[in-house]
Amino acid sequence: AAQGDLEWKKGPCRFCGVGCGILVGIKDGKAVAVKGDPRSKVNKGLLCVKGYHQTMCIQSKDRLTHALVKKNGTYVKTPLDEALDLVASKMKETIEKHGKDSVAMYTSGQSTIPEGYVASKLMKGAIGTNNLDCNARLCMASAVAGFLTTFGADEPMGCYEDIEHADYFITWGNNMAEMHPVLFSRMLEQKQRRGAKIVDFATRTTRSSTASDRSILFEPQTDLAVANAICYEIIENGWMNKSFVEKHCNFTKGLTNIGYGLEDKFAFKDKATPIDFEAYREFLQDYTPEKVAKYSKVSVQDIKYLAAIYGDPNKKVVSYWCMGMNQHTRGTWMNNLVYNIHLLTGKISQPGNGPFSLTGQPSACGTAREVGTFTHKLPKGVVTNEKHRRLAAKIWKVPYERIPAKPTYHTTEMFRAVDRGDIKFIWTQVTNPLVSLPKTSRYRPALEKESCFVVVSDVFPTPTSDVADVILPASWHIEKSGIYGNSERRTQHWDQMIEGPGETTPDAWMTIEVAKRMGFGDLFPYSRENHVEEIYEEYIQFHEGKKHGMAPLKALKRKSGVIWPYVEGKSTLWRFNAEYDPACDNGKAFHFYGKPDGKAVIWQRPFEPAPEKPDAEYPFWLNTGRVVEHWHTGSMTRRIPVLHQAMPNAYIELHPDDAMDYGISNGDMVKVISKRGACTMPASINERGLPTKGQVFAPFFDEELMINDVTLDAFCPISKEPDFKKCAVKIEKV
């Protein structure tokens, strides 16, 4: 259609946490074009390859358009009302027979804010169980735990405008060229325009490395030691910002040798012990560049180079990271350590200076973290805090005693509980755990067991819906109204743009319908037409005030996104800095008000090895991740012909020397084997990425070549986020 024939409607992109603004061209009730929204402050009219083609999957022939109920091993097309009756009655019956904690919901950082909110209200407020967790546990939990332990408040203090101010971008285990491509292009623009520098610190060479000014490689897991060595250099060279540290920081140490969560029902609680600066300095003596260079494989010169960038008082530095640091058995520690660097130098909460944790999913911040679809969370605060439970009970109009004070299952433990038979009903929404969980070789048979009734809401069939007892047909992104929150605390609303096919229905509305059928109708008094707006108005009561105030709906509708805290009609771009943040009220230049004394914490966190390392039998490190063409488990992007053709299948990336040792050529089939399972995939040598010798890499988007059958379900004991980046494997040419 000619551009002039189209009606253009605004919204955020369906895919990553960058949160680009899109304009969708509608003609005759169909989405026929997508372009970047030039008004968006995130992307200024640009999109990546996924963004431009996103609507091309909607019409896919195998779209789930009606509910399907499994009868005698066969899926039978069923009226949605009837399927929802069945879901509600099964959930109710399971609770009556086995108790509240026998039912669970597993949702997503791709759920909208209203979807996450009603899931939390149903589970915690109506039923009275904390059996709610989401796939953001697999990507952002370590970032959350890092923010809370260091600052007492979640989410980045800065915003994307930092890019226009920074002299250096240091990326920690983060292939932004493929994972956050539009932000990376903003960085490249600054590199070209005014000579800003990009330093890539990673375990393999990627497209980001080749576009950087300097690429520094490290041995997996030793980022902990290198970060400590940078702190050592900053202090010993006199680069510490003493006045900032004295006024705004405390020193603390936590427990060490904290395990890896490999056994079921693993329990851990950290203990913080205050220490003084001299004790911290003493601790760092084990992390001289010379000592760390020996096991990190980073040269002394490179460690000193990184430290000197952070230590230069005339250079502004932003650190970016995402899964490399978060999917880490010491992910919380790694987040703490990068904060240490910025706190020691006082390079924080100022334009162009700051640590910036990027999110993977489009609403990992808005839904998973702010609404709080985690077992321990409430829309404001945590279930363990009586004040927070009382506030939730008041807004939800439920008895305070109904909200349990103890968290139950985080993601890995939730699927272990399914395997053990402790969870007998699970409802997944907007997520595909049988491709995305680590060690799917254990959790697929677990979900197949008769002992658990499985409900899956999705847009397309997936390996997870293949094991469901009921499949519910979900609306796609633009077939419903919604609200997302991106990496920079930006909340973005969109109105429904087109009608979905068949009986497709927004997840929020299906949850509400089930709640009503279970007898909780009085708690869910929303209308079908306006439920998104009505839920949002209720939800923002949780976040009033200067520290987390959310924009009113009319501001969201008018603008292409608004950053919280939204105070007196303005977004707060840099938190904790009195110049920009109206919540600072301690009379000082900075106020880390998430902590009772207003001071951030510099944590003493040591290097500890990974739980599984290469050995004589399994001589390679396996790293997993994503590619620019595909969104997570590929259920949408593999149905977009142009993206599928560009990247039709997963592969195993090898270093050319390793390939030669094994007689493997490009395209040969290679079996990757761990103690847990195996996956056979074609070899990729000297193509997109280059692992260092002794390492292999595979993307996880391909449900036909499932690398997560091979990965390990060890996790960070504080955040409970699994480590998808490190386990030991062997390879065989097939």
Q: Which is nearer to ligand SF4, 620 or 700 (CB)?
A: 700
Q: Which is nearer to ligand SF4, 191 or 297 (CB)?
A: 191
**Residue 679 annotated as binding site:** no
Minimum CB separation of residue 639 from ligand SF4 in Å reads: 16
What is the CB-side half-sphere exposure of residue 725 using CA atoms within 13 A? 27
C-alpha angle with apex 617: 613 to 620, nearest 5 degrees?
Answer: 50
Minimum CB separation of residue 658 from ligand SF4 in Å reads: 32
Minimum CB separation of residue 143 from ligand SF4 in Å reads: 17
Mapping DSSP to helix (H, G, I), strand (E, B) and coil, where does residue 610 land?
Answer: coil
Q: Which residue is nearest to ligand SF4 (CB)?
A: 51
What DSSP character marks residue 67?
A: E
249 vs 683: CA distance, rounded Å: 49
**Residue 496 annotated as binding site:** no
Calculate the dihedral angle through the C-alpha atoms of 304, 310, 316, 320, rounding to the nearest 10 degrees. 100
Q: Which of 323, 518, 550, 706 is catalytic?
A: 323
Q: Which is nearer to ligand SF4, 181 or 506 (CB)?
A: 181
Q: Which is nearer to ligand SF4, 431 or 692 (CB)?
A: 431
Which residues contact ligand SF4 by CB under 6 A?
13, 15-16, 18-20, 43, 47-48, 50-51, 181-182
**Residue 432 annotated as binding site:** yes
431 vs 439: CA distance, rounded Å: 16
**Residue 78 annotated as binding site:** no
Q: Which is nearer to ligand SF4, 55 or 511 (CB)?
A: 55
Query: Is 360 assigned a catalytic role?
Result: yes
Length of the chain: 734
Query: Is 50 assigned a catalytic role?
Result: yes
Query: Is 492 assigned a catalytic role?
Result: no
> Shortest CA distance to 646 belongs to which of 629, 631, 662, 661?
629
What is the CB-side half-sphere exposure of residue 323 using CA atoms within 13 A? 26
Minimum CB separation of residue 336 from ligand SF4 in Å reads: 27
Longest CA pairwise span in the chain (Å): 73
**Residue 39 annotated as binding site:** no
Q: Which of 105, 139, 414, 679 is catalytic?
A: 139
**Residues forming beta bridges with residue 68, ordered by sequence position:** 77, 471
**Residue 469 annotated as binding site:** no
Minimum CB separation of residue 573 from ligand SF4 in Å reads: 20
Q: Which is nearer to ligand SF4, 13 or 510 (CB)?
A: 13
Minimum CB separation of residue 22 from ligand SF4 in Å reads: 7
Minimum CB separation of residue 24 from ligand SF4 in Å reads: 13
**Residue 457 annotated as binding site:** yes
349 vs 524: CA distance, rounded Å: 40
135 vs 87: CA distance, rounded Å: 22
**Residue 34 annotated as binding site:** no
> Shortest CA distance to 699 belongs to which of 612, 632, 614?
632
Say if CB 634 and CB 702 are below 8 A apart.
yes
**Residue 222 annotated as binding site:** yes
What DSSP character marks residue 138?
A: G
Residue tagged 């609770």 (tokens): 95
**Residue 479 annotated as binding site:** no
**Residue 50 annotated as binding site:** yes
Positive or negative torsion for Cα 24, 26, 31, 33? negative
**Residues forming beta bridges with residue 669, ordered by sequence position:** 682
Say if CB 37 and CB 27 are below 8 A apart.
no
Q: Which of 140, 497, 647, 681 is catalytic?
A: 140
DSSP β-ladder status, 695-699 and 620-625: parallel
Minimum CB separation of residue 13 from ligand SF4 in Å reads: 3
302 vs 217: CA distance, rounded Å: 10
How far apart, in Å, are the Cα atoms of 310 and each of 160, 300, 490, 560? 19, 16, 28, 34
> Shortest CA distance to 252 belongs to which of 278, 271, 273, 232?
273
Q: Which of 19, 324, 346, 360 is catalytic?
A: 360
Q: Which is nearer to ligand SF4, 47 or 231 (CB)?
A: 47
Query: Is 158 assigned a catalytic role?
Result: no
Q: Which is nearer to ligand SF4, 620 or 631 (CB)?
A: 631
Minimum CB separation of residue 52 from ligand SF4 in Å reads: 7
694 vs 479: CA distance, rounded Å: 47
Q: Which is nearer to ligand SF4, 47 or 159 (CB)?
A: 47
Residue tagged 């304009």 (tokens): 23
The alpha-carbon radius of gyration of the chain (Å, integer) is: 24
Count of CB atoms within 10 A of residue 583's CB?
18
Instruction: Give binding residues for [4Fe-4S] cluster as ranges.
Output: 13, 16, 20, 48
Instruction: Give binding residues for substrate as ranges.
Output: 700
**Positions marked active-site:** 50, 139-140, 323, 360-361
Instruction: Give binding residues as ranges.
Output: 13, 16, 20, 48, 50, 110, 135, 139, 221-223, 323, 327, 432, 457-458, 480, 507, 624-633, 700, 708, 725
